[in-house]
Structure 1
């Protein structure tokens, strides 16, 4: 809706819409906090698994080369590190719109001596735009963390496949 649409509403309707927009924005911030917690958990788990995979890779290279361990460790390191990167990236909240306004946001309205109804109507239009922008940010963040979690579960299978390939390669050259 545009400012003109909101201006045609009654004062009671505008305040109802304003309160509902503020509630929705508060919900979005709650969803963002939950996404941050999820991102932190997945990042920590993936980073720990990547560290363990580096250890397995290094163990495969010490005291004679254990090719299956090298291959599996390398694949696991890459997969878990990539999952950690995606999870960490999902926690970025670039330009996520906050609740409320700064007092200076109203300086033009005060200077122009705008009517109260017009100021509220402009706020409603702005809140609608904020809500839509935040919705897209939350969807993008959700897709990233979902991708990281899928990678977290798929990496052991990739590591197993790499270990088998490296084992077959070692057997062929032995």
Structure 2
């Protein structure tokens, strides 16, 4: 997103990735938080579920909760409707993509009130959310459900084989 904005920015879209160094630093901060902390925590926690149909890794949930706590506090103390100000930026779009992964995994983040309100605001105000994300959420849910069913069949097959060997 940074590259696309640098290459194709127009006066009309400049708010998405400001050129002012201080404003851009705020956007970069949240982009890097998303990439290095939030999305990383989501990926680590849900890796067993996404790749094998196993339950999420309980040892990694604390990292996810800590990341969501940070985001919730950041939004609470920021005093603005979006991560970096009065308008959404590419940082909001990036973090929304990560939060949408939580939706796809049916992970409730209702206890993070500011995150919940911010995500609802983004989903309502980002014009392409439904078009870009809702189908992907359903596809991810279906894929995970299939993995879980496949794992259950495999375990049942192995159980039956172990019974017949006895």
Say yes or no: TM over 0.5: no
The structure showing larger relative contact order (alpha-carbon pairs under 8 Å, at least 6 residues apart) is 1
Please give the TM-score of this superposition, normalised by the length of structure 1.
0.29
Output the TM-score relative to the length of structure 2: 0.30
Higher helix share: 1
